Chain A
Amino acid sequence: EAGVAQSPRYKIIEKRQSVAFWCNPISGHATLYWYQQILGQGPKLLIQFQNNGVVDDSQLPKDRFSAERLKGVDSTLKIQPAKLEDSAVYLCASSSFVGSSYNEQFFGPGTRLTVL
C-alpha cells in the first residue's frame, strides 16, 4: 500500500512570495489533514477535509492560507503572501472514516518551507 505523498520536499522563498504544496493521500482515505510543524514544536492542525468538504479550519490563517480538495482525493495548500513566521514543515495526513469513526492517521514526509 502506497503511503501519503507530498511535494515538493523542500521550498525556499522570499517573504511576500506565494507558494503551494501538494498532497496525495492513501487510496480510499476520505479524510485529509494539513498540519504545520514549527521547529521544536508538535504539529498543529491547519485544516481537515472529509472528502471534498471542510470539517475543521479553525486554526487556518485565512487571510493568507487557503486549501482545496476539489475531487475528494488530492489536495493543495497555498500561502499568499508568505511571512517569515511561516517557515515550518507542512505535513499532510490521511485516515479512513468508517461509520462515524475517524481511524488512525498516516503522515506523509512533509514539505520543509523556508521563508527568507
Chain B
Amino acid sequence: KQEVTQIPAALSVPEGENLVLNCSFTDSAIYNLQWFRQDPGKGLTSLLLIQSSQREQTSGRLNASLDKSSGRSTLYIAASQPGDSATYLCAVRSSGSRLTFGEGTQLTVNP
C-alpha cells in the first residue's frame, strides 16, 4: 500500500526567501507525481506533474524534482511571495489512476 509523507507540516518564512517542501513515498513503482496547491475553502490546483521517467519539471518560480529510486520529491519555490501562502499537497499515482495524497505542508509567507 502506497503511503505519502510530507515534511514539514507547516512552514513560515519571510517574503523573498527560497524554500523547499519535501515529499516521500514508500512504493517506488509510480507512474507520476503531482504537486498541488490548495487555498482555504477552495479545491486543488495542479502546479506540476512529473512523469516517472523525468527528473524534474519547472514552471515559473517553481521547480519540482523526482528521485524515484529513493522515493522522494521536492518542490522548490524561489523568491517566495505572500501570494504563495497556501497548503501544498504531493500526490503519487501508483497503479491505475488512483492518486495517493500526502497530508500537505501549510506555507505562510510573511510580508
Q: Which residues of A contact B (CB under 8 A)?
A: 4, 31, 33, 40-45, 48, 55-56, 91, 93, 95, 102, 104-110, 112
- Give A115 to B97 CA distance when docked, in angstroms: 30
Indicate whether B107 reaches chain A with its CB closer than 8 angstroms. no
B residues at A contact (CB < 8 Å): 4, 34, 36, 41-46, 49, 89, 91, 93, 96-99, 101-104
Most B C-beta atoms less than 10 A away, residue of A4, A42, A45, A56: A42
Complexed CA–CA distance, A110 and B104 (Å): 17
Contact B98 A56 (CB under 8 A): yes
Is A104's CB under 8 angstroms from B103's CB?
no
Whole-angstrom distance between the alpha carbons of A95 and B32 in the complex? 15
Per a CB cutoff under 8 Å, which of A41, A105, A106, A108 touches B99? A105
Bound complex: CA of A31 vs CA of B96, how far in Å? 12
- Say yes or no: A44-B101 contact (C-beta < 8 A), given A56-B96, A102-B96, A104-B34: yes
Chain A hits for B4, CB < 8 A: 42
Could you tell me the dominant secondary structure of chain A's interface residues?
strand
Partner of A91, one of B41, B44, B102, B103: B44
Max chain A Cβ within 10 angstroms of own Cβ: one of B4, B89, B99: B99
Which listed residue, B43, B89, B101, B102, touches A108 by the CB 8 Å rule? B43
Candidates A42, A48, A95; contact of B91 at CB < 8 Å: A42
Set of chain B residues within 8 Å of A110, measured between Cβ atoms: 42-43
Q: Which residue of chain B lies nearest to A38 when distances are taken between CB atoms in the complex? A: B103
Contacts of B104 in A (CB 8 A): 41-42
Most buried by B among A4, A45, A48, A105: A105
Inter-chain CA distance A17–B34, complex, in Å, is 36
Given contacts A40-B103, A42-B104, are A106 and B98 in contact (CB under 8 A)?
no
A91-B43, A109-B42 known; A55 vs B103 contact (CB < 8 Å): no
Q: Using CB atoms, name the residue of chain B closest to A91.
A: B43
Which residues of B sit under 8 angstroms from A102, Cβ to Cβ? 93, 96-97
Distance A109 CA – B39 CA, assembled complex (angstroms): 10
Instruction: List 13 A-B residue pairs with CB atoms under 8 Å apart, sorted by A's residue number.
Output: A40-B103, A42-B102, A43-B99, A43-B101, A44-B101, A91-B43, A102-B96, A102-B97, A105-B34, A107-B44, A107-B45, A109-B43, A112-B41
